[in-house]
Amino acid sequence: MSTQPGLVATDLRSSRVGPVTLHVRPGECLAITGPSGSGKSLLLRLLADLDPHTGRVTLDDTDAQSIPGHVWRERVAYFPAEPGWWSEQACDHVADTGAARTLLGSVGLSERMLSSKIHTLSTGERQRLALVRGLLHKPKVLLLDEPTSALDPDSTALVEQMLAGLKRDGTIFILVSHNAAQTRRFADRHFTLRDGRLEEGDAP
């Protein structure tokens, strides 16, 4: 059993991905690149325990299978490129609290957004609102799938600045991004996913 802090996957696999073994330490960002359809998003979903898999995933020696799924996903939060919504009202997803207002401001969103309907928001606004929604649970691991793909450069800079602060505080990141400049700025280690296997290499 691992005695090192961080996110550890051992022999993780599904029908399309794996086996994958990795260890990401607190305050570290691992970037994963690869062609479309190579399974990058699926790997993030496996780490978040959203899809069937074999193998073992632990966070600070807590096994994903030992706690309820929703508790695991609050600690190991998956942020897809296209977030899902269960209500048309933004406030049903993000309550109007001091913490929410602070996070909204840090990513360039107005507090007035909480009174909006989801369908009236731009793709970039929805992407940032979903990030705020997940961060309110104070996850220890962020699984980011193209987190700024719909953002302009100024908004991207705000999001990266906020995420960098979390990284300095020890949050673990796994970043999937086609933005080579972003992975060079943010990641400590770089992997490529090919044929379901991770290959470590230099920054793209």
Q: What count of other Cβ atoms lies within 10 Å of the Cβ of residue 155?
A: 18
Tens-place pLDDT, residues 97-128: 999 999 999 999 999 999 999 999 999 999 99
Both tokens of 199, joined, read: 């290959």
Considering the entire predicted model, what is its pTM? 0.94
SS3 string, the chain, reads CCCCCCEEEEEEECCCCCCEEEEECCCCEEEEECCCCCCHHHHHHHHCCCCCCEEEEEECCEEHHHCCHHHHHHHEEEECCCCCCCCCEHHHCCCCCHHHHHHHHHCCCCHHHHHCEHHHCCHHHHHHHHHHHHHCCCCCEEEEECCCCCCCHHHHHHHHHHHHHHHHCCCEEEEECCCHHHHHHHCCEEEEEECCEEEEECCC
Q: Where are the domains of the chain?
A: 7-201
Q: Which amino acid is at 61?
A: D
In CATH, the architecture of 7-201 is 3-Layer(aba) Sandwich (3.40)
From first to last of the 204 residues of the chain, give the pLDDT tens digit. Answer: 446 799 999 999 998 998 999 999 999 999 999 888 889 999 999 999 999 999 999 999 999 999 999 999 999 999 998 899 999 999 999 999 999 999 999 999 999 999 999 999 999 999 999 999 999 999 999 999 999 999 999 999 999 999 999 999 999 999 999 899 999 999 999 999 988 889 887 655
Q: Which residue has the tokens 């991207």?
A: 156
